[in-house]
Amino acid sequence: MASRTPLTVATASMDAPPVALTRRARAVNRALAEIYPDAHCELDYRTPFQLLVATVLSAQCTDVRVNMVTPALFEAYPDATAMAGADRERLEQLIKSTGFYRSKAESLLGLSRDIVEKFDGEVPGRLKDLVTLRGVGRKTANVVLGNAFDVPGITVDTHMGRLARRLGLTVNEDPVVVERDLMALIERREWTLWSHRVIFHGRRRCKARKPECGECEIAAMCPSAPGAKVRPPE
């Protein structure tokens, strides 16, 4: 069977042509910028390596919990060289409360050794290099690039995926395709801040189980809001 081109909002709905969709996406971004002028990465870190480690630990775990764990972790293993030689059992105990600690320890040991062996102990500042590290995908790489290296990137976590679909900016589930769809709508210089703003909104207002549509400041631009006048993609 021939493979199909991944569906995008632009191809899915003639009611939302690319220009109109782009304008709406950018209007949402401007509105979120006013609502969350201080939107930022909520993980605590001092170096690119610490941000990389914290982002790996944040998988299926809150940033608050990660920030409780990392001070002792970074005191024991402040850089890739130190963590590459970590005792696995001790490492697991330090990160245990973040959940899935065995697989996370495996990823941290692997990526630390990769950094030492391939990049002279320094976290690389390019996407194509970051994703070669064990346990590092595009989401984690974009967090590190955007916040530690000031390289624009869209972070497609569960909040971003959920809100992008609710806002009618994509119909896709695959994070890589969602990232591609959003990259076409939002100005490149805004990618990192867009990610922070959307994640802030997802955590504070547009929650997974009970979105607060009645109090939502951008409900008028959302096709998923009750009584919405904006047409969703079909």
CATH of the domain at 197: 1.10.1670.10
CA distances 30 to 19, 35, 167, Å, are: 17, 9, 14
Predicted confidence at residue 140, as pLDDT, reads 97
Q: What is the dihedral of CA 163, 20, 154, 39, to 10 degrees?
A: -70
Predicted confidence at residue 18, as pLDDT, reads 83
Question: Is residue 232 over pLDDT 80?
Answer: no
Mean pLDDT of 14-23: 72
Predicted confidence at residue 228, as pLDDT, reads 78
- Are 63 and 99 found together in one domain? yes
* Domain count for the chain: 2
- Are 83 and 59 found together in one domain? yes
In a domain, 129, yes or no: no
Q: Are 164 and 233 in contact (CB under 8 A)?
A: no
- Are 163 and 112 found together in one domain? no
- Are 162 and 186 found together in one domain? yes
pTM, two decimals, is: 0.88
> Could you list the residue range(s) of the whole structural domain that residue 106 is in?
48-122
Mean pLDDT of 60-82: 97
In a domain, 140, yes or no: no
- Are 89 and 65 found together in one domain? yes
Mean pLDDT of 188-201: 98
Predicted confidence at residue 231, as pLDDT, reads 60
Mean pLDDT over the full length of the chain: 92
Q: How confident is the model at residue 17 (pLDDT cuts 50, 70, 90)?
A: very low
In a domain, 230, yes or no: no
Q: What are phi and psi of 217, to 5 degrees?
A: -75, -20
> What's the one-letter identity of residue 2?
A
In a domain, 136, yes or no: no
Question: Is residue 115 over pLDDT 80?
Answer: yes
Angstrom distance (rounded) from CA 167 to CA 66 = 29
How does DSSP assign 164-207, residue by residue? Answer: HHHTTS-----HHHHHHHHHTTS-GGGHHHHHHHHHHHHHHTS-
Q: What are phi and psi of 6, to 5 degrees?
A: -55, 135
CATH of the domain at 65: 1.10.340.30
Mean pLDDT of 181-209: 97
Residues acting as catalytic residues: 139, 157
